[in-house]
Structure 1
Amino acid sequence: MKYISVDNVEPGQHLGKSVYSSNGTVLLSEGVQLTVFMINTLNRIGVTMLYIKDPDFADVDTTDILDEATKQAVFKEMNDTFEAVRSGKDWSTKKISVSADRILSDVLANPELLVQLTDIRTADNQQYVHATNVCLISILIGMNMGLNMFQLKDLAIGAMLHDVGKVGLDSLDEALGGLKGHHTWRGFEVLKSKREFNLLIAHVALQHHERLDGKGLPRALDAHEIHQFARIVAVADTFDNLITGRNGKGLLPHEACEEMMAMSEKQLDRDVLIQFNRIISVYPNGTSVRLSTRETGVVVRQHRGLPGRPVVRVIHGSGDDMEVQEVDLAVHTTVFIEAVLA
């Protein structure tokens, strides 16, 4: 499969990964042959990137850490929870706990896979994809930092619900509400009332926008006052926000990682960033790239611990004259990825 911009998708191509709605139902199934109407609809609902089946790259492994059943279940429970919060109704901490267990189970079953955030985002499902991604990244960082299972469970729930204070709050209301109107305070108030949850979970919502230099929100805490869980979620949240951007115009993963390293010890925790860089895929499988040799190819495999040095498949010619070469950037150390191609 290849991971390409929706602007470059052509009618007749086959979808490589399913597109989900906010409640976990399938909008378009993997394998469907795309029509002009479908492509226009994907553009209209805010989709920017897609996996497309390609016979030259049929063997490219795009396995996600989270399986499809987990994603559907988590999206549904997140949707139900956020809708209850929005309407002022009670919501089930047990369902959120079960969702956290599902994600933890999938992570523990695939501990060697790198995170490749290639789920297809729409305007409808964006907040649930974001919450799930932040949870997934946070768990993997927490595992690398030696957290036990009880700590990982609390971290997972805090990460899933870190933005619950945004539910029903628009940016103008937040700006006019002062510090107590900030979504972090609102999230803290929502979560601390749930006595089934460890109070640390509420503090993740409260502190995930604090900064190590003391210039964060909502309380401008000093570095030593920011809990480890909040530091972890801050890194995961920052990355997912950077690659999403505004109106779908986000940074590429390698650009986001570079920007985040510049935030080290100012906004983000250096030790957390080190672990983050060990679990993230900078160039997801299926991404088209141009090498410093001026050849173009597609990323087909990853090296854990070397996120910037994947294996790139380069194809010369076509038909009977086709020549396939795989360039392992971990071996060919003088070759590097010069650009990502849409």
Structure 2
Amino acid sequence: MIKRRYMRTRQLKPGMIIDQVIKDPTGRNLVVQGSAIDDYIISSLLKLGIMSVYIREGNADPDDPDAILSPKAAAMVKQLRTDDRSKVTLSDSVRQRVSTGVQYIFNNTNSEELTQATNQIADSLMEAINENDAIAVDISSLKTSDEYTFKHSVDVATISMILAKQMKLPDNEIHDIGVSGLLHDIGKTMIPNEILNKPGRLTDDEFNIMKKHSVYGYNMLKDRKDLNNSILMGVLQHHERIDGTGYPLGFDAPKICQFAKILSVADVYDALVTKRPYKDALSQRDAVEMLMSMTNQLDIGVMRAFMSSMILYPVDSIVQLSNGEKARVVKNSEYYILRPTVVGVDSGRVYNLGNDLKCASIIIL
């Protein structure tokens, strides 16, 4: 960790790092902040009557985005930094409540309290969205559970609720799509574990069994009077595709309900960025690019809402650029989620990846 210490000039030693700008009487920089000092600089400081200075001690913490910035980079970050759009934030207490609730749902699928428990989780997510009028989501910040099925259900529900809000659906429908997202994979409780957790590619027969989970889920829920048809259709149809290539019924766009169109985008994205026994997680960039390649299968209106809602590289995060430089994110654009504005941590160069043609060949790795 880096510390700043005030020290008498006569006690300085060559090689120490100065942690302030030193100017000569004409206003010119004599010593740049972050410079290593030598005997000449120490002598010059004494001649100028500068009897004490700030020095920097310790090593930069790689997790501290400020510590690794050069002085030029720090100045550019201060000038350009723009807070991210309001995003969903779950407090520790809400995260615990949501995690406990979703585990209850999947472990008690026949309980009369299932709908009530699901509504309570959706209420908590709705409250988190409304608390700071969130219109975006950083999926890496949710972390509600280490167990895939539980985490995936909460991720899909949260993303879907934000997409629904972006699409200006009324509050009751935003809440209900959260319920549908929480329950969309409940049918997987009927799939044998040796298929569900198989650490390799499924055979055709195994995949045919896996594909039944949406029908199983619908059948488990359809007689519950407190779940409306949109919620049930979301569960049944979340693997349908608008070109008719999905399952279980092979419906095309006109026959697929709006909830399912929203859930399918959230479901595909979260599955792509999550590590499973049979596959590694894709990077967020690769997942978004794959999603964009599926425009013939996924609803374009929902895709636009997704591109306006996701924050892949939160402001202040450190990223690796394809030109070899590390950079700090200073501004995101809702239209170019793969291409924020960043500042090189060493060079201080500004890369407006979304709008500057000179940066067209540079990507975030």
**TM score, norm. by length of structure 1:** 0.71
| 2:269 maps to 1:232 | no
Listed one character per residue, the Cα deviations across residues 266-287 of structure 1 (whole Å, up to 9, x for unaligned) are x211121111111112334424
- The 3-state SS of whatever aligns with 1:167 is helix
- How far apart are residue 116 of structure 1 and its match? 1.5
Q: Go from structure 1 to structure 2 and tell me whether the alpha carbon gap of 1:127 and 1:287 turns closer, same or farther (over 3 Å shift).
A: farther
Map 1:99-138; keep pairs closer than 5 Å.
Answer: 99-111=121-133, 114-119=136-141, 124-138=146-160
- Percent identity, aligned pairs only, is 26
Is residue 241–residue 298 contact of structure 2 (8 Å, CA) maintained in 1? yes
Map 1:152-171; keep pairs closer than 5 Å.
Answer: 152-170=174-192
Map 1:4-153; keep pairs closer than 5 Å.
Answer: 52-53=63-64, 55-56=66-67, 65-68=88-91, 69-85=93-109, 88-111=110-133, 114-119=136-141, 124-153=146-175
Alignment partner of 2:283 out of 252, 275, 283? 252
What's the C-alpha RMSD, in Å, of the aligned pairs? 3.2
Is residue 135–residue 157 contact of structure 1 (8 Å, CA) maintained in 2? yes
Structure 1 residue aligned with 2:358 = 334
| 2:246 maps to 1:198 | no
Map 1:268-287; keep pairs closer than 5 Å.
Answer: 268-285=298-315, 286-287=317-318
Is residue 140–residue 279 contact of structure 1 (8 Å, CA) maintained in 2? yes
- The 3-state SS of whatever aligns with 2:321 is strand
Map 1:282-321; keep pairs closer than 5 Å.
Answer: 282-285=312-315, 286-292=317-323, 294-316=324-346
The whole-number CA distance in structure 2 between the counterparts of 1:312 and 1:177 is: 43
Structure 2: stretches of 5+ with no match in the other structure: 1-61, 70-77, 197-204
- The 3-state SS of whatever aligns with 2:116 is helix
Is residue 108–residue 114 contact of structure 2 (8 Å, CA) maintained in 1? no
Structure 2 residue aligned with 1:219 = 249
Is residue 87–residue 134 contact of structure 2 (8 Å, CA) maintained in 1? no
The whole-number CA distance in structure 1 between the counterparts of 2:207 and 2:289 is: 34
- How far apart are residue 250 of structure 1 and its match? 1.6
Listed one character per residue, the Cα deviations across residues 254-297 of structure 1 (whole Å, up to 9, x for unaligned) are 211111121112x21112111111111233442422154x4221
Structure 1 residue aligned with 2:294 = 263
**TM score, norm. by length of structure 2:** 0.67
Q: Go from structure 1 to structure 2 and tell me whether the alpha carbon gap of 1:340 and 1:249 turns closer, same or farther (over 3 Å shift).
A: farther
Q: Go from structure 1 to structure 2 and tell me whether the alpha carbon gap of 1:95 and 1:147 turns closer, same or farther (over 3 Å shift).
A: same
Return the letter of the residue paired with 1:229.
Answer: F
How many pairs were matched up? 281
Return 277-286 or 147-156, whichever deviates more.
277-286
